[in-house]
Structure 1
């Protein structure tokens, strides 16, 4: 069903690595992706930090919180950094509840207590919810029954990765769709789900998926189709298109910056030569 998108995606990945990612210092490219991913993923949940503000926070920490931003937003971003970096250090590990819970603990370490301070049943970072959940216009199922299915989701996703029979984007999309409807934690499910989506892609040596804040409604609609029509085709399609658009954009930007710079140098050199010729004629 997705043969054309798979072909286009795979061809672009080869170009993207050759033109963009492989040309970077590895650590610089990791940080570039971390800042972009953190800014956009947190923005989907309402965080107002821009990419530039996220970069400043990453470089200077709490000593440089941009004007108009809350301490809660800053801590949410800083926690996102540490959770993402934790997963990067553990790419050799299989999907497991232990990994999921430890990442959630880091992701919500400084924010969960604040967000659940008035709850009758407050939750702790790294622990599953003890109450049923709702988000937006969605009421999720019985939390105890949904939590029981988390190990099976992790195990089946790991088996799919190990088999090599299913494209990594399809595995990542299917995992993400199922995970978001299991919604096992009191807070942070969206950010954690997108983080583990990229954990899956990185384990399969794929570029990370960054869902831009401007595509939030399209992303939410794709997730809703899973509930309304019992199909994840729309989410898979959205993942492919989003990944393809990002790679195309960054390849084009890299080529344009290179060509425009060379053109500018040539223009300066030509102007200099013309000026010297005019001086000689004079």
Structure 2
């Protein structure tokens, strides 16, 4: 039986890391963190170029951008570090942790960690988020389902991501939150985190809509698996020793 290519790449990287310089590993991780923040924030209305995301991460302020644009970048960098640390702990992923991540994402922009009390519409989407009065019940069901989930780690990570994107529990930053939750579950199971490239936005949205409308998780899971394999290939190339 042919071995799963993702598992092969995963084991290969594990062996390479043992022989790799720690400084080199940190450089690869820092590069990913910037790329991931650029992609995740860029999915919305924030269009700060990658080089300026890098500059902002170092200087903490760029006068040519609005305060909100800068906070979205800096908050995302901070939220990603929080997610990495939390994923490596033994704590259970619960509602409090989800709200903590959201609070970090929107710190200094608006009050985070509070479920929306208004209805929202996603322009151009075939599926619209549930009425705000249903959010609490939908989120309670989500956490129950997550606890009882029977699939493999990638399927569980995809389910968590897609469910948050579908419910849209907060007024804003749901997309960034859902991507951070995806990576929380990947990191927790010793996978590399992934970023959804801006050029793959339409493909990603189409597969996410498939889940929202038909409850079919397979296309999105396969999409993420392909991104994971590509990420392992890229990291192995960068760490080539």
**Normalised TM-score (structure 1):** 0.75
Secondary structure of residue in 2 paired with 1:151: helix
1:180 aligned to 2:178?
no
Aligned match of 1:132 in 109, 113, 119? Answer: 119
Alignment of 1:153-172 (within 5 A): 153-160=142-149, 166-172=151-157
Q: Which runs of 5+ in 1 are unaligned?
A: 113-123, 259-282
Secondary structure of residue in 1 paired with 2:193: coil
Secondary structure of residue in 2 paired with 1:135: coil
Which whole-Å CA distance do the structure 1 matches of 2:179 and 2:19 have between them? 24
Change (3 A) 1:250 1:111: same
Which of 1 and 2 has greater Rg? Answer: 1
Aligned match of 1:242 in 180, 204, 227? Answer: 227
Which whole-Å CA distance do the structure 1 matches of 2:21 and 2:63 have between them? 28
Identify the range of structure 1 (26-35 vs 83-92) with the bigger mean alpha-carbon deviation.
26-35
Which whole-Å CA distance do the structure 1 matches of 2:12 and 2:141 have between them? 36
Alignment of 1:88-99 (within 5 A): 88-91=84-87, 92=89, 93-99=91-97
Which whole-Å CA distance do the structure 2 matches of 1:247 and 1:176 have between them? 21
1:42 aligned to 2:41?
yes
8 Å CA contact retained: 1:21, 1:29 = no
Report the alpha carbon displacement of residue 195 of structure 1 after superposing the two structures with TM: 0.3
Aligned match of 2:7 in 10, 13, 16? Answer: 10
Q: Render the CA deviation track for 1:47-93: whole Å, top value 9, x for unaligned.
A: 2223332222112211xx274x3332111001112222222232222
Alignment of 1:71-90 (within 5 A): 71-90=67-86
8 Å CA contact retained: 1:147, 1:182 = no
1:144 aligned to 2:133?
yes
Report the alpha carbon displacement of residue 32 of structure 1 after superposing the two structures with TM: 3.1
Report the alpha carbon displacement of residue 24 of structure 1 after superposing the two structures with TM: 4.8
Which whole-Å CA distance do the structure 1 matches of 2:171 and 2:155 have between them? 27
| Larger RCO (alpha carbons 8 Å, 6+ apart) | 2
Which whole-Å CA distance do the structure 2 matches of 1:78 and 1:22 have between them? 32
Change (3 A) 1:189 1:11: same
Q: Give the number of the structure whose residues are more often helix, by fraction.
A: 1
Per the alignment, residue 207 of structure 1 pairs with 192
Which whole-Å CA distance do the structure 1 matches of 2:222 and 2:115 have between them? 30
Secondary structure of residue in 2 paired with 1:23: coil
Q: Which runs of 5+ in 2 are unaligned?
A: none
Per the alignment, residue 52 of structure 1 pairs with 51
Report the alpha carbon displacement of residue 21 of structure 1 after superposing the two structures with TM: 8.8
Secondary structure of residue in 2 paired with 1:141: coil
Which whole-Å CA distance do the structure 1 matches of 2:69 and 2:32 have between them? 19
Per the alignment, residue 105 of structure 2 pairs with 107
Report the alpha carbon displacement of residue 237 of structure 1 after superposing the two structures with TM: 1.1
